[in-house]
Structure 1
Amino acid sequence: MANLPLFHRLQGRKAVVIGSSEGAKWKAELLSAAGADVHISDHWEAPQLEGAAIAVADLADHDEALRLIDAAHAAGAVVNIIDQTDLCDVTFGTIVNRSPIVVGISTDGAAPVLGQSIRSRIESVLPLGLSSWAKAAKAWRPRLKQRLSNFSDRRAFWQRFAVKAWSGPDLAPLDSDFDALVASAPGTTGRVTLVGAGPGDPELLTLKAVRALQTATVILYDHLVGPDVLELARREARRVPVGKSGHGPSCKQSDINEIMVELARAGDTVVRLKGGDPMIFGRATEEIDACRAAGIEISAIPGISAAQGVSASLLMSLTERRHARRVQFLTGHGADGKLPSDIDWISVADRKVTTVLYMPRKTLGQFVRDALRKGIDPETPAIAIASATLPDEVHVSATVAEIENFVAELPIGAPVTVVIGWVGRRHVGATSAPLPFPKALAS
């Protein structure tokens, strides 16, 4: 490590700040926020440093800075010379403040702006409400020692405390929460959370999804979930692949249900991680029913669906006033692996509908033939996209009558989504007759 991170207790202690620059004023504010008795001056003399815990100075003159350092050290104070890290005993890092939770970030003075960007990333996933949980922990610690004399029991309490804090960080803890956590025996039933991993890009996960990954003890993930998404989980979490791939070797849904229930019964915090949104073609109902039947608490965190990922990647709205009044999601295969037999073909043929076809590789030819037979315009634009939102994303476009031939060119094994409808006309060079504006608007 370039520096050893320490947290300096300054409550009621003397801090000396020399200088009136913006940097000096900012550091004086930080010292005051930490409870220090701050003394500010434009000039310094050795007696000013007596009894100080820290001295901060903005001194351009190198020799004068060295004299101040010697005087501060003689008084027992550590020193920070602004913008001269080679002369500093301590430096001020970038701070994420959820007091009493405080996160310090240091780049050893090399890249302050990078440190600020790191702070922004951390702040985006660190709920403000955690502050109240940390304050409660501080207040409850003496009471806990009276209630639980055994160290291992207290540690188990704090583990349950952390899980509860992350499950509802913005709900202020109550005294009843303390009693409930004390009464909960170690190893009691855990819980399951269905989490949408989005279409692939890890930066498209919701903040709530990231928090769930960082509190899980076990993650059951589908084969569409990439390694970059799993990297966002806590390091200690077990990662168990339970992928289901259409028309290929799969983990049975009944097995997944059983694994989830067994892990939760053993006390694990289980995240069932699914590509896209867990509530769209993710067999969520079967997993929810299995958990409820076993008395396991279960919740769901939505994710960005494949349709939304495709739309954003192509900069193509799925709805347009002139071309699409509604959107429909269809699966390319049913439970038997074949094209579902109950598709509403009138809706598919409707020129005012955008159809998003999920998992269509093996059945696309049958889908196109049936759609043409049922009246869809053969010139309807169709776009197929593989690995949407990922670096290796690729798409092809054609009319619906021809799209099957182009899909065959997409990488084998990549997840494919097909969008059919006149909103895609710009991507295939097809045009449709524009609807005239009302005269009042045209004028």
Structure 2
Amino acid sequence: MSAPLFPLFADLRQRAVLVVGGGAVAERKVEALLHAGALPRVGAPALTARLDDWARQGRIAHVEGGFTPAWLEGVWLVVAATDDARVNHAVAAAAESRRLLANVVDDAELSSFHVPAVIERGALQVAISSGGGAPMVARHLRRQLETWLDDSWGALVDLFARQRQRIRARFPQLGQRRRFFEDALAGPLPQLLRRRQTERAAQWLDEALASPVAAACPGFVTLVGAGPGDPGLLTLNALRAMNEADVILHDRLVSNDVLRLARRDAARIEVGKSASGHSVRQEQIHALMLEHARAGLRVVRLKGGDPFVFGRGGEELEFLRAHGVGYAVVPGITAALACGAYAGIPLTHRDHAQSVRLVTAHCKDSLDTLDWAALAQERQTLAVYMGVAGLDGFRARMLAAGRAPGTPFALVENGSRAVQRVVTGTLDDLPAAALRHRVQSPALLILGEVAALADTLHWFGDAPLRGDAAPSSPALKDAAPTLAHAA
């Protein structure tokens, strides 16, 4: 096994670098060198149009003709980027004899240095190298890290760089500085910079350095939308928050697949609500958020769907603000959007629906507060986040308000998950269809003309079950159709 490469970041500002070759590959190398402030010399019989344009602008020097060792005079690095193996060998040999580091594109054996895949966030650079043996693996890893390292990391580096001398004076010992940086990164600085609150971030750092003792890092709560269940629907910000959390307070309907993506050593507390069985009251959830935040921990309140769509996110922010706890919100894909998409149901359609209403109907009291006349209008879509209330009452109120008995519906059970089921039919048969197919929580009801499109546009999982067709297994006659879905 060969020795590992020595990682090195080179300052090439105003330093000459020779690139042998005038094609597309050479052009990419020259562009990177220009970005680093180098003075590229491009040796080749002919240049691409872009390289030629840079030469005419004076940004690069063109050495015309075939390679000779004399081209190496006065340069710091060499890149061989031709499609002629003999020329590349000659460049590498000439560089070796002069103790110059050379990179031969796509030839690890001839190269004495390799150009890594790079992620750049301002002054922060992350370089990934496979030693030239598997550059596609390095590029693949770079693409994955690109999603995690957002622009706030560059701002963070800039902020610390501006205070570098002050930090070193305040914490002269390396151990002290390390603890200070760890506390700062665990505190509000990253969140403030992600929220583009650069002045507040600078003020926090200034106050931390002015304090006679290291500033205690206050706790923080992030409300995160976990989406309907498919972990592929999580946002990048949701993944970041879940991987930075010390404590995760999650709803019952947050899928195990989503939870598996969270930081492994984070404490996980289920705080779900259920019409039957174990439930955690909202006041208890408030108390848990406050307890952990006041202990200086990063808390993620992980909610199925979106925190602000029937998720009580507003109530929780009001509580946190009243108690002086910092917070942020990461939206999620709400059930209506996800269930519609995964069932092949567009919530709006020029021919069928020009508006969408999101409705919750968890109990009889909530049913009494709804404007049934408005809900019964045609050419609109209702996305109903149902609770334990019977569908008989919902159907009766819709029919009484004037909605046609033949209005299509779709019940989407476990939307976006591997076990998704879709039941379709008409409003008149809604309760019987749910009973016939034993629809269980979590499920979402979509009512309106667009629901009929599920029969033809479905693409995920099995084809929809017709509400008027018998299920493959006998239904329990005494089973009640109960539907629920977190927002």
TM-score interval, normalised by the smaller of the two chains: 0.7 to 0.9
Q: Which residue of 2 aligns with 1:439?
A: none
8 Å contact kept, 1:382–1:419: yes
| Structure 1 pair 293–103 and aligned structure 2 pair: CA distance change class (3 A) | same
- For 1:301, which of 310, 319, 330 is the aligned residue? 330
Q: Structure 2: where are the runs of 5+ without partners?
A: 45-65, 457-465, 467-487
- For 2:222, which of 170, 193, 198 is the aligned residue? 193
Matched, 1:342 2:342: no
Instruction: Spell out the pairing of 1:108-147 with structure 2 (5 A cutoff).
Output: 119=142, 122-123=145-146, 126-147=149-170
8 Å contact kept, 1:280–1:305: yes
Instruction: Spell out the pairing of 1:273-288 with structure 2 (5 A cutoff).
Output: 273-288=302-317
Shift of 1:48: 4.9
Between stretches 138-147 and 282-291, larger displacement belongs to 282-291
SS at match of 2:203: helix
Q: Deviations over 1:17-53 (max 9, x none)?
A: 2222221232133234334454433444556547755
Between stretches 188-197 and 316-325, larger displacement belongs to 316-325
| Count of matched residue pairs | 428
Matched, 1:266 2:288: no
Q: Which residue of 1 aligns with 2:415?
A: 388
Task: Determine the C-alpha separation between the residues in 1 that align with 2:360 and 2:366.
Answer: 8
Q: Deviations over 1:205-235 (max 9, x none)?
A: 3444344334433322223223443455455
Shift of 1:349: 3.0
Between stretches 7-16 and 385-394, larger displacement belongs to 7-16
8 Å contact kept, 1:311–1:318: yes
Q: Deviations over 1:49-88 (max 9, x none)?
A: 4775532113555455445434433433333211223433
Q: Which residue of 1 aligns with 2:192?
A: 167
| Structure 1 pair 98–85 and aligned structure 2 pair: CA distance change class (3 A) | same
Task: Determine the C-alpha separation between the residues in 2 that align with 1:161 and 1:25.
Answer: 42
| Structure 1 pair 240–77 and aligned structure 2 pair: CA distance change class (3 A) | farther
Task: Determine the C-alpha separation between the residues in 1 that align with 2:107 and 2:310.
Answer: 58
Shift of 1:357: 1.4
Q: Deviations over 1:180-205 (max 9, x none)?
A: 34257443421212121222333433
8 Å contact kept, 2:342–2:416: yes
Q: Deviations over 1:367-410 (max 9, x none)?
A: 33454455543222110112223343321101122233433466
What residue identity is the alignment partner of 1:15? Answer: V
Matched, 1:328 2:357: yes
Task: Determine the C-alpha separation between the residues in 2 that align with 1:5 and 1:393.
Answer: 51
SS at match of 2:428: coil
| Structure 1 pair 356–108 and aligned structure 2 pair: CA distance change class (3 A) | farther
8 Å contact kept, 2:183–2:217: no
| Structure 1 pair 372–114 and aligned structure 2 pair: CA distance change class (3 A) | farther
Instruction: Spell out the pairing of 1:11-410 with structure 2 (5 A cutoff).
Output: 11-12=12-13, 15-42=17-44, 43-46=66-69, 48-49=71-72, 53-62=76-85, 65-106=88-129, 119=142, 122-123=145-146, 126-159=149-182, 161-162=184-185, 163-169=188-194, 170-172=196-198, 176-183=203-210, 185-230=214-259, 232-234=261-263, 237-320=266-349, 323-324=352-353, 326-334=355-363, 340-360=367-387, 363-372=390-399, 375-408=402-435
What residue identity is the alignment partner of 1:295? Answer: G
Shift of 1:295: 2.0
Query: What is the TM-score with the length of structure 2 in the denominator?
Result: 0.74
Query: What is the TM-score with the length of structure 1 in the denominator?
Result: 0.81
Shift of 1:144: 0.7
Shift of 1:421: 1.9
Please provide the CA RMSD for this pair: 3.7
8 Å contact kept, 1:98–1:130: yes
Task: Determine the C-alpha separation between the residues in 1 that align with 2:134 and 2:350.
Answer: 48
Q: Deviations over 1:168-190 (max 9, x none)?
A: 33444575343134257443421
Shift of 1:307: 0.9
Shift of 1:143: 1.2
Shift of 1:7: 3.9
